[in-house]
Amino acid sequence: MRGWLMVKKSRQPFEEVVVGLDRPDTAENIRKYSPSGRVPVLLSGNLTVWDSLAIGEYLAETYPAANLWPKDAEARAVARSISAEMHSGFVALRTHCPMKMKEQIQQDTPQEALDDAARVRAIWASTRERYGGGAGFACDGRRPEAAALETGPFLFGAFTIADAMYAPVVSRFRTYGLPLTGPAAAYAEAVWNDPDFQLWYEAARSETLRVPKYEVQKAT
Ligand SMILES: N[C@@H](CCC(=O)N[C@@H](CS)C(=O)NCC(=O)O)C(=O)O
């Protein structure tokens, strides 16, 4: 979802190849495209980019008009920080709340995953407050004059790579009924209602491929 959303938001035409995961031929199929054996991978001419955040960076540099990172350097540094935090962290949330967009699941979510969810909520609320076109104050309390804050419902106003990085978590909050109120809830709603996010959701709803290891957990 993350790489796909980034390419959609770059507004460039692209062709999608879907590879079924957790199957005997998955590794072989992915390695036709990706040297890491992981998806997503972006092929552009002779170039292969095999990591979602690297894909975002490449698209942001190649198609600057798409504004995939915030324009302001301070906001951009924060956007990169929270994107990197998502990329390398939140292991408990990912482990105990696997992404299952179509389902509503009642479970006793372990405290460590709830702690991750709390950190995500705090990131969403504080980023919206400082950079989302609302109050728009810098870390030291100053309003950043060069911020050129854009209005919009996303973390930095307009949709950026940071929103793509957190989009799967928006889905996890919904699937597992994780607590969500106030600005963080409004933000999650905005991502859910984004037309490109909805395109992915509709495709997921009609998807017939299954990932066997995630089918053990039953929806209630
Ligand atoms: N750092 C990578 C992680 C990618 C990753 O873990 N992808 C999983 C699917 S979400 C994968 O390719 N799994 C291969 C498999 O299940 O065989 C990125 O975000 O691009």
What is the CB neighbour count within 10 angstroms for residue 100?
A: 19
- List the one residue out of 180, 163, 175, 191 whose CA is nearest residue 117: 180
Q: In Å, how far are 48, 55, 187 from 33, measured between CA atoms? A: 8, 14, 34
pLDDT for res 215: 76
Q: Which two tokens stand for residue 86?
A: 């998502």
**Residues above pLDDT 70, as percent of the chain:** 90
- List the one residue out of 93, 68, 86 whose CA is nearest residue 161: 68
Q: Which amino acid is at 5?
A: L
Q: At what angle do helices 52-62 and 161-175 cross, to 10 degrees?
A: 140
| Arithmetic mean of pLDDT over the chain | 91
Q: What is the mean pLDDT of residues 157-183?
A: 97
Place of tokens 């491929």: 209
Using most ligand atoms within 8 A of CB, pick from 17, 18, 33, 39 the residue to mutate for ligand 1: 39
pLDDT for res 149: 53
pLDDT per residue over 91-108, tens digit each?
999 999 999 999 999 999
Q: What is the mean pLDDT of residues 40-50?
A: 97
pLDDT for res 213: 82
Output phi, psi for 42, to 5 deg: -110, 125
pLDDT for res 133: 77
pLDDT per residue over 23-36, tens digit each?
999 999 999 999 99
Q: Which two tokens stand for residue 141?
A: 């309390």
Q: What is the mean pLDDT of residues 68-79?
A: 96
**Residues above pLDDT 90, as percent of the chain:** 85
Residue nearest to ligand 1 atom 9, measured at CA = 39
pLDDT per residue over 194-219, tens digit each?
999 999 999 999 988 888 887 765 54
Q: What is the mean pLDDT of residues 145-168?
A: 84
What domains lie within the chain, and their CATH numbers? 2-65 (3.40.30.10), 69-208 (1.20.1050.10)
Residue nearest to ligand 1 atom 6, measured at CA = 38
Residue nearest to ligand 1 atom 12, measured at CA = 38
- List the one residue out of 40, 39, 120, 134 whose CA is nearest residue 82: 120
**Taking 60 as the threshold, does the pLDDT of residue 145 lie above it?**
no
> What's the rounded Cα separation, in Å, for the pair 152 and 185?
15
Ligand 1 centroid, distance to 181 Cα (angstroms): 30
C-alpha angle 168-174-179 in degrees, rounded to nearest 5: 110
pLDDT for res 155: 97
> What's the rounded Cα separation, in Å, for the pair 175 and 98?
9
**Taking 60 as the threshold, does the pLDDT of residue 220 lie above it?**
no
More confident residue, 149 or 155: 155
pLDDT for res 136: 46
What is the CB neighbour count within 10 angstroms for residue 57?
A: 18
Residue nearest to ligand 1 atom 14, measured at CA = 38
Ligand 1 centroid, distance to 201 Cα (angstroms): 19
User: Residue 121 in contact with residue 185, Cβ under 8 Å?
Assistant: no
Q: Which amino acid is at 33?
A: Y
**Taking 90 as the threshold, does the pLDDT of residue 15 lie above it?**
yes
Query: How buried is residue 15: exposed, middle or buried, by Cβ count under 10 Å (0-12/13-18/19+)?
Result: exposed
User: Residue 209 in contact with residue 18, Cβ under 8 Å?
Assistant: yes
